[in-house]
Amino acid sequence: MENNKYDPTLALAFKLSINLNTKVDKLFIFEEETKWNYKSWIKWKKTLTGKMVS
């Protein structure tokens, strides 16, 4: 993960954040080339809160 050679699954990211008692966004840095991942994250997050996603 530190060498940008591994992209953890969302489940692993949450497990790490829980065990390290921190937020996911504090563990992983958003980079411009992963903008599509961020869009997927937002869409997934909205589905959890029950908001409609187009």
The predicted model gives 20-45 an average pLDDT of 74
Q: Is 44 in contact with 10 (CB distance < 8 Å)?
A: yes
Judge whether residue 49 has pLDDT over 80: no
Domain ranges of the chain: 10-49
**Is 26 strand, coil or helix?**
helix
More confident residue, 41 or 35: 41
Question: Cα(1)–Cα(28) distance, rounded to whole angstroms?
Answer: 9
Reference 27, options 40, 14, 39; nearest CA is: 14
